[in-house]
Amino acid sequence: MKRTILRGGAIASAGLLSVVALAACTPAAGGGGGADEPLDWKVTSTTAAPSGDIDSFTFASYAEPYSLDYAYAFDYSDNQVLANVCESLLRLNPDFSLTPSLAEAVDHPTPTTWVYTIRQGVTFHDGTPLTAADVVASLSRHLDPAVGSSWYSVYQNVADIAQTGENQVTVTMTGPDSQFNLSMGGSAGVIESAATLAAKGSDYGNSTGGVNCTGPFSLTSWESGESITLTKYDGYWDKDLAAHAQSMKFVFMGDATARVNALKSGSVDGAWQIPLEAVPQLRASGKGDVLFGESTAVGDLVVSNLDGPLGDVRVRKALLLAMDRQGMLQAAARGVGEVTDVFTTESVWKDASDAARTAAFDDITHYDQNLEEAKKLIADAGVAGETLTYVTAPIGNDFSVISQATAAAAQSIGLKLKIETVSPAAYTSLFSDPSAREGVDLFYTSWYLSSPDALEMYSVLRTGEFSNYGGWSNPEYDKVVTAAIATDDPAARSELTAKAQQIANEELPWLPLFTGPLPMFQGERISGVSPSMAFLYYPWAAEIGAR
């Protein structure tokens, strides 16, 4: 599960080589030459295989990773690096399927046990072999209060993690939990050397301590404030994903204009999450291809204070009904994406039944702009003239557009919206520090999922969950989500999840705005990228070679 800081601004802001188109959308005629014209776009699943190996290539990152410690890797800048260096028990692929990785097999002999057979012949980057003891040590860190893992919610139902055979690890749950295994393809399932964890201590995962994992690249250097260099690991176990490049470098470029100029000049070979306003420039540069990958992200306004006017569902509905969300999408993202009334994308409903899909996306309330209805709800709630506090940050064009559009919507129905602008670092704190949210009614997120199941989204909105930032509570909802978590069959689980989506759609603990694809740039020197939100967990850089 994911929150956002720069993630929201980067992903929502966001001619091809040989591609396989999964879907297509052309919002309007024209290629988006003018600032007000929608961009032509289509979702791409893969690019042409490399013509051969390459010595090195470079990607720009909007920010330096907070940490490469998998327990804290909870953002785009962290995970886009970590995905190529460290591996999980399972692998989340670009099509959002889960396949074996460091666990060559998974068994589920009882409703409360998951048994992982650990792959043999795998070595860490220091040459030592992967063992079941390493798996126990790596997973157990998430249960240690002294670690304070960002992924604790995945482990909240874990009773025990133990080695139960030479190459076997058993995780015992306090109750049935379908979501635990589904999360083993992300950072929550990363495996590190137990010896390295013990030796590095508090330095593990930072620029001095580094990491020692099993992926196709090893971490060679981390120049704080400047770059991270990865080197091909010749002892990598999966020959199908052996790196085509001898090395790759991430350069940290916080200034969006500098990133775009570097891509236009060819001095940087690629970047995820490119600003959408730069797409025409990049297309015209002739230095590579703008690609749009399948995404799991939804742009939402988080309702973080239910003690104020937004504690009344009528006020939440009124504010959403007052918004020109199609106009917001056009201004914030050049029309790339679509307005949505729910918190998930169809990409995470692949194993759902047809009935569940219908219930989740069709049998819901649709909040088309309706100012008269919105004003009536405000009058009924008796909150006309009251003030909401909205926090934003100078992160991207979309942050500015959404804050101003929300203010206009509030004003149009008799509410006042006070916009407070904070630094990006302070904005990050909204997602982790309850004190940072004191007095804050609304803030923006582009929330993406880390597993191929929509239930992950609705799990975080249960009563008392860490990411339920407003403290919303609905007993019926909690009951449905808890039952879904305990359901192993994907089709049956999806029907319960659809019910949760319907309740959330009616109650609006957050206000859904729009969805959009993942925009990225692949330079003219390289090929092999698989554009997908799974780049946060899949070793995407290993597939890149010479064009």
What is the three-state SS of 490-501?
HHHHHHHHHHHH
Residues with Cβ within 8 Å of 338's Cβ and at least 6 positions away in sequence, in order, are: 25, 329, 514, 515, 516
pLDDT over 70 at 393, yes or no:
yes
| Amino acid 83: pLDDT | 98
| Amino acid 35: pLDDT | 57
Lowest mean pLDDT among 33-37, 307-311, 339-343, 436-440: 33-37
Q: What percent of the chain has pLDDT over 70?
A: 93
Q: Over the range 170-199, which residues count as b (16 or more CB within 10 Å of their CB) and which as e?
A: bbbbeebbbbbbbbbbbbbbbbbbbebbee
Angle at alpha carbon of residue 470, lines to 467 and 476, rounded to 5° = 85
| Amino acid 397: pLDDT | 82
Instruction: Give the 3-state secondary structure of residue 169.
Output: strand
Percentages (nearest 5) of helix, strand, coil residues in the chain: 35, 25, 40
pLDDT over 60 at 23, yes or no:
no
**Burial class of 123 by CB neighbour count within 10 A (0 to 12, 13 to 18, 19+):** middle
**Burial class of 281 by CB neighbour count within 10 A (0 to 12, 13 to 18, 19+):** middle
What is the four-CA torsion angle of 486, 480, 454, 368, rounded to 10 degrees?
180
**Distance in angstroms (rounded) separating the CA atoms of residues 475 and 405:** 33
Enter the DSSP assignment of 439: T
Domains of the chain: 6-32+39-85+215-295+518-546 (3.40.190.10), 88-198 (3.90.76.10), 298-515 (3.10.105.10)
| Amino acid 21: pLDDT | 25
Q: Which pairing describes strands 387-392 and 442-447: parallel, antiparallel, or unpaired?
A: parallel
What tens digit of pLDDT does each residue of 64-85 get?
Answer: 998 999 999 988 899 999 999 9
pLDDT over 90 at 401, yes or no:
yes
**Distance in angstroms (rounded) separating the CA atoms of residues 343 and 320:** 14
254: confidence class by pLDDT, cuts 50, 70, 90: confident
| Amino acid 428: pLDDT | 82
Average pLDDT of the residues in 176-186: 96
For the record, the structure tokens of 11 come out as 């992903």
Average pLDDT of the residues in 412-418: 97
Average pLDDT of the residues in 302-306: 97
| Amino acid 429: pLDDT | 87
In sequence order, the β-bridge partners of residue 227 are 223, 251
Residues with Cβ within 8 Å of 485's Cβ and at least 6 positions away in sequence, in order, are: 176, 177, 178, 179, 455, 459
For the record, the structure tokens of 516 come out as 């959009």
Lowest mean pLDDT among 54-63, 356-365, 418-427: 418-427
What tens digit of pLDDT does each residue of 150-168 get?
Answer: 899 899 999 999 999 999 9
pLDDT over 70 at 545, yes or no:
yes
Q: Over the range 206-222, which residues count as b (16 or more CB within 10 Å of their CB) and which as e?
A: bbebbbbbbbbbbbbeb
| Amino acid 156: pLDDT | 92
| Amino acid 36: pLDDT | 63
| Amino acid 255: pLDDT | 87
Q: What percent of the chain has pLDDT over 90?
A: 85
Q: What is the mean pLDDT of the chain?
A: 91
Average pLDDT of the residues in 416-431: 91
In sequence order, the β-bridge partners of residue 288 are 523
For the record, the structure tokens of 340 come out as 């949505």
Angle at alpha carbon of residue 383, lines to 381 and 384, rounded to 5° = 120
What tens digit of pLDDT does each residue of 491-543 get?
Answer: 999 999 999 999 999 999 999 999 999 999 999 999 999 999 999 999 999 99
Query: Based on C-alpha coordinates, what's the Rg of the chain?
Result: 23
